[in-house]
Chain A
């Protein structure tokens, strides 16, 4: 199975901050990496697919990038509604696997 290592596991940030979350795959997954946002008690919602494509309706402050097997989710200016848990997930091969999650909390 492909292992997805996400960091940090949690972070505290203020509104307006630039936030970066990273995810490393245990082997090449090309650009088959998706980022999801999950709020308490809710199902996840996709933000980025294909490493860098913004899902329709998602604010442009979210962006994704790739360097080899390292992937980054960036929130350019954190907004109050962005406090949530974020997961990376590879769709390169089954079984699909998720990272451990990054909880973004209010500083």
Chain B
């Protein structure tokens, strides 16, 4: 059974660095083809893809946020960590982690965490 769960602070101050952890079970990120992503959603707004890390440690980032994001994995702990620097109130959102599943050439999110709401306010 695949599960993912996000954890991190509910409140951060402007200019601070946010660190979020995705702890998962039911698969290993050392297995070929496994990939984990971070996606966020401001209140009442659309989904925004942030970053992805693959089994071979390839990393991909949002174009607009790449200077502020770092994604990493700890395979032994079944965790993926996202850091976002210089937080601003516009970064207030629910942050999700999600796994990618591959069926032949098709890639899609098959499992999501429940999401964690992060509010940026002084």
Contact = CB atoms under 8 A, between A and B. Distances in A.
Contacts of B98: 43
Contact of B103 (A45, A49, A101): A49
Contacts of A89: 47, 49
Interface stretch (A11-19, A20-28, A75-83, A91-99): A91-99
Given A96-B49, A98-B48, A91 B106 contact: yes
Interface in B28-45: 37
A10 interface: no
Given A43-B96, A43-B115, A100 B106 contact: no
Contact of A1 (B63, B107, B115): B63
A49 B115 contact: no
Interface residues of A, number: 25
B107 A32 contact: yes
Number of contact residues on B: which range applies?
Answer: 20 to 34
A89 B110 CA distance: 13
A42 to B, nearest CB: 8
B112 interface: yes
A43 B46 CA distance: 12
Given A43-B96, A43-B113, A91 B46 contact: no
B109 A36 contact: yes
B25 to A, nearest CB: 16
Interface in B72-112: 96, 98, 103, 105-110, 112
Interface string A50-82: 100101000000000000000000000000000
11 contacts: A34-B108, A43-B113, A46-B108, A46-B109, A49-B108, A50-B103, A50-B108, A95-B49, A95-B63, A96-B52, A99-B46
